[in-house]
């Protein structure tokens, strides 16, 4: 009895804030409910049928996959590289740590405006520099050929510092004696020691970074798209969460948006399960 009483606040918060809304979203996904509508009808799988026939949704899924597929590996390996460089360096370590971590603590909206200026086709410094060497830069954010790449680059930049800090923490946890042992055992080249000691011992860190980066890439892509491109041009930068947001709060199709949310949920849960199932055993050395 006391046990239930003690866990009541947490239980209540979980039920009210997480469980009920999730269940409500699942229920809505099978209805035609629209925000403000007086009634709703049970329409079974109609929402999902419409979803998979919807070119906008398919495009949105594809963009999301490309975005996450670019941002995750690039920011993980980039972050690892930065962490290794800073760890190996002797001077200005605090400075570099701070500089690369800055994007993490800044507001996405503010940073996005800065990027908008940097990438502006005519007044932006990037294209100005390209012009200096005689190259006409593309319209980074307003051409459907480059918009997703540009957003991914910003996403990488944004995640790099976060991953770097996580890897730095992981690196300090590696016992120094292992490196000494590796050297005595004949791991002469830095690459040998990286393969023998650093990479395997960073395993748990890397798994955590992988999980967190994918989630961050999936969710924070919304902020960038909402501020910079609104999914355009011509749906070339539509991502799942933005589509969901528009269906729900612009078109008020709550049932349809709930179906998207459900698909999103299934994707995230599947990814996380796969990661923990297959990788967890391989990075924690009992």
Partner 1 sequence: MITLRLNTIEKRFGTTNVLRGVSLDVAHGEFVVLVGPSGCGKSTLLRIIAGIDQPESGTVQIGGRDVTHARPAQRDVAMVFQSYALYPHLTVAENIAVPLAMQRLNGWQRLPVLGGVLPGTKQTRARTAQDVRLAADSLGLLGLLDRKPGQLSGGQRQRVALARAIVRHPTAFLMDEPLSNLDASLRAQARREIVEIHRRTGAATVYVTHDQSEALTMADRVAVMQSGEILQCAPPETIYNDPVDLRVATFIGSPCINTMPAEADGQGMVRVAGLATGLNSTARGALTLAVRPEKLMLGSTGLPAIVEGVEFLGESLLLHARHTHTGAALVARITPEQRPGLPSDGHVHLDFRAADALLFDAAGHRVRALTPAEAPAFV
State the nearest-atom distance from the C-beta of 72 to partner 1, in Å: 23
Residue 31: DSSP 8-state:
B
State the nearest-atom distance from the C-beta of 140 to partner 1, in Å: 39
C-alpha 158/C-alpha 75 separation (Å) is 8
C-alpha 13/C-alpha 36 separation (Å) is 27
Q: Please identify, using beta-carbon distances, which residue of 36 and 286 lies nearer to partner 1.
A: 286
State the nearest-atom distance from the C-beta of 184 to partner 1, in Å: 5
Q: Per CB under 8 A, does 195 bind partner 1?
A: yes
**Alpha carbon distances (Å) from 242 to 46, 106, 164, 218, 256:** 21, 21, 28, 11, 13
Q: Please give the distance of CA 163 from its chain centroid, rounded to a whole number.
A: 11
Q: Please identify, using beta-carbon distances, which residue of 16 and 180 lies nearer to partner 1.
A: 180
Q: State the residue for tokens 């039920």.
A: 15
Q: Per CB under 8 A, does 9 bind partner 1?
A: no
Q: Per CB under 8 A, does 278 bind partner 1?
A: no
State the nearest-atom distance from the C-beta of 124 to partner 1, in Å: 44
Round to the nearest angstrom and report the end-to-end CA distance of the chain. 37
Q: Name the one range near partner 1 by CB under 8 A: 58-66, 104-112, 152-160, 173-181.
A: 173-181
Q: Please give the distance of CA 175 from its chain centroid, rounded to a whole number.
A: 31
Residues that bind partner 1 (CB under 8 A): 175, 177-178, 180-189, 191-192, 195-197, 200-201, 203, 285-286
């Amino acid at each position: 009895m006391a046990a239930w009483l003690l866990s009541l606040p947490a239980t209540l918060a979980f039920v009210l804030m997480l469980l009920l809304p999730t269940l409500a979203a699942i229920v809505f996904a099978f209805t035609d409910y629209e925000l403000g509508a007086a009634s709703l009808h049970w329409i079974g799988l109609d929402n999902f049928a419409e979803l998979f026939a919807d070119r906008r949704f398919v495009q949105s899924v594809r963009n999301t996959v490309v975005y996450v597929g670019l941002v995750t590996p690039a920011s993980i390996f980039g972050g690892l590289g930065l962490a290794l460089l800073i760890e190996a360096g002797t001077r200005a370590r605090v400075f570099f740590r701070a500089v690369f971590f800055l994007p993490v603590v800044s507001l996405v909206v503010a940073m996005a405006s800065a990027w908008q200026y940097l990438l502006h086709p005519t007044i932006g410094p990037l294209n100005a520099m390209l012009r200096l060497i005689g190259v006409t830069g593309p319209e980074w954010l307003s051409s459907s050929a480059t918009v997703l790449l540009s957003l991914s680059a910003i996403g990488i930049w944004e995640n790099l510092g976060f991953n770097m800090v996580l890897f730095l923490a992981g690196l300090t946890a590696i016992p120094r004696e292992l490196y000494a042992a590796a050297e005595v055992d004949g791991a002469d080249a830095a690459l040998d020691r990286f393969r023998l000691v650093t990479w395997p011992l960073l395993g748990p860190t890397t798994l955590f970074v992988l999980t967190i980066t994918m989630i961050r890439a999936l969710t924070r892509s919304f902020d960038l798209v909402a501020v910079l491109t609104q999914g355009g041009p011509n749906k070339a930068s539509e991502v799942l969460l933005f589509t969901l947001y528009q269906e729900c709060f612009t078109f008020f199709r709550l049932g349809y948006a709930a179906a998207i949310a459900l698909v999103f949920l299934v994707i995230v849960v599947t990814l996380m399960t796969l990661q923990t199932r297959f990788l967890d055993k391989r990075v924690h050395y009992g």
